[in-house]
Structure 1
């Protein structure tokens, strides 16, 4: 919950909702610094295993960014058998993170596709 509290899009999540979210995710990736028993990296994937995998909630706390934890998460995700074999792996990110994700072959050139959202969370529309 501490990790989620530090991100603009996850700050308001409640423990019970996070538990439901984790159960509903196809894959969950977590990096733990065992010396301080702290979660220092997180990501999750929803996938049908054939056509699409959606990478969500990639989080590394600000004090750990630039240390390779994000790379470890993305390598683990892309190389996972349930992700590596699907036709398309997609994610949503802020513009400043596009160069980071391009290292794994992600592109913001998606033809005429547009992100559309129906949400009750006003944080996601600003």
Structure 2
């Protein structure tokens, strides 16, 4: 995929909601989301990154960030369309996130990922060395609390 054919946008326009739902349907942690909930999520997210392939007018990548703008930013829902993986679109998406001027002064940018993606995220300085901190979760969603089988 030609990365010069990709636009980075800071919103998912209403007419692209179906495309975002299609991306979400391809991943185990987002497959059960409803359009109403995703619309509310987009509104409440501090930063949204949408990668649009101009030649097809399709959403090929997505990420969002929650942040206080000073101490912490949490990157969530990083997804690249399956046909675009391995083409540099994921790198383009993460470059847009970590180089966004609205995050320049944030002391810590964090994310949660599956073990097989650790090498990918290390390219931007992410590390699993987080001192004595440990992720904890309170959730009624069994997808997020049960051991995940590999696909």
Q: In the alignment, does 2:47 pair up with 1:27?
A: yes
TM-score, L = length of structure 2:
0.81
Partner Cα separation in structure 1 for residue 100 and residue 57 of structure 2: 25
Deviates more, 1:78-87 or 1:96-105: 78-87
Q: For each residue in 1:12-69, what CA deviation from the matched residue of structure 2 results, as whole angstroms up to 9, or x when unmatched? A: 0000000000000000000112222221000000010000000000000222111111
Instruction: Give unmatched runs, 5+ long, in structure 2.
Output: 1-20, 147-151
Partner of 1:97: 117
CA shift, 1:81, in A, is: 1.4
Alignment RMSD (CA, Å): 0.8
Instruction: Give unmatched runs, 5+ long, in structure 1.
Output: none
What pairs with 1:3-82 in structure 2 (closer than 5 Å)? 3-82=23-102
CA shift, 1:71, in A, is: 0.6
Partner Cα separation in structure 2 for residue 35 and residue 4 of structure 1: 22
Deviates more, 1:27-36 or 1:101-110: 27-36
TM-score, L = length of structure 1:
0.97
Partner Cα separation in structure 1 for residue 124 and residue 98 of structure 2: 8
* Of 119, 123, 126, the match for 2:143: 123
Partner Cα separation in structure 1 for residue 45 and residue 133 of structure 2: 24
1:114 is paired with a residue whose SS is coil
1:50 is paired with a residue whose SS is coil
Partner of 2:106: 86
- Count residues with an aligned counterpart: 126
2:62 is paired with a residue whose SS is strand
